[in-house]
Amino acid sequence: MSQVDRHTRFRALAFFTLALSLLPAPLAASIADPVQLGGAYFGWAAALYLLASGGTLVAALTFGRGEPMRPAWLMLSASYLVLVPALLGIGPKPDGLYEAVQRAPWVASVASMVSGTLAVTSLFLLARAWRATGLDGTSRAARVAARLVALAVAVLLAGPDLVERLPAALQGDVLAAGDVVTDLLDGGIFVVAVPVLHAALLLGGGLTAWPWGLITASLVAWLGYDATALYGAAAGLDPRTLRVVEEVLRTMGAGFAFSAGVAQRWVMTDAVRD
């Protein structure tokens, strides 16, 4: 099979994820009742987290016991799975749709921090395993430059929310503290991932770049999710539209994580056939 043919299904996977990410918008257009829409988004979010966890688990099980990639992908799978019981425990999120008090919102903050910690650890292990393969031909200066670019993007997207929530967090607001920690973790994950993506892209268009490209797309979506409230409000978007944008970015974040896992599986099975 030619390189062009091999890339086709990876491109199809990426386009499928993008199309899937747009579904929250027509869902909002077809459900006028805000409570029903909140319930629909609640079920959609649970399904997305299970999808992302399943896709990354597929990647983990591609590797044998003792291989460094296996625990890394397992941790990424767990980072999504841990969000499911928390979501089920607090119920539908009313933000931007209707007025209601959500059950134990601190549960979501704790789950987000646990999830973020697992994801950071996962990406660190994946990056270390990547470097151990000897495929990373970039110089130290190039890696530092890539990290600085990633840091700038992370600050641009997650920085405003972090700055807004930090004063409340310092005053003991548990929910604000959770938001601050989550922003920091999301930014940290991105800074870890981008240098590896840069190195993978320098391999000359090989299939190895696909899992890292899709993981990076997932991380950009989650950073965008963190930034939606502030940037959306500054742009004059109404609360319902802001919520729809959030759900689109949530779908993109989880969807690209699923796609990255599937892509990793395909890369490894193609390598075995070769």
Q: What is the pTM of this model?
A: 0.88
Q: What percent of the chain is modeled with pLDDT above 70? A: 93
Q: Are 24 and 227 spatial neighbours (Cβ–Cβ below 8 Å)?
A: no
Residue-wise pLDDT for 134-152, tens only, equals: 766 677 787 788 888 888 8
Contacts of 161 (CB under 8 A, 6+ apart): 179, 183, 226, 227, 229, 230
Whether the per-residue pLDDT at 154 is higher than 90: the answer is no
Whether the per-residue pLDDT at 177 is higher than 70: the answer is yes
The pLDDT of residue 273:
59
Q: At what angle do helices 239-273 and 34-62 cross, to 10 degrees?
A: 20
Query: Which carries the bigger pLDDT value, residue 181 or residue 270?
Result: 181
Residue-wise pLDDT for 53-66, tens only, equals: 999 999 999 999 98
The pLDDT of residue 274:
53
Whether the per-residue pLDDT at 4 is higher than 70: the answer is no
Query: Which carries the bigger pLDDT value, residue 115 or residue 2?
Result: 115
Reading the block at residue 195, the tokens are 């240098």
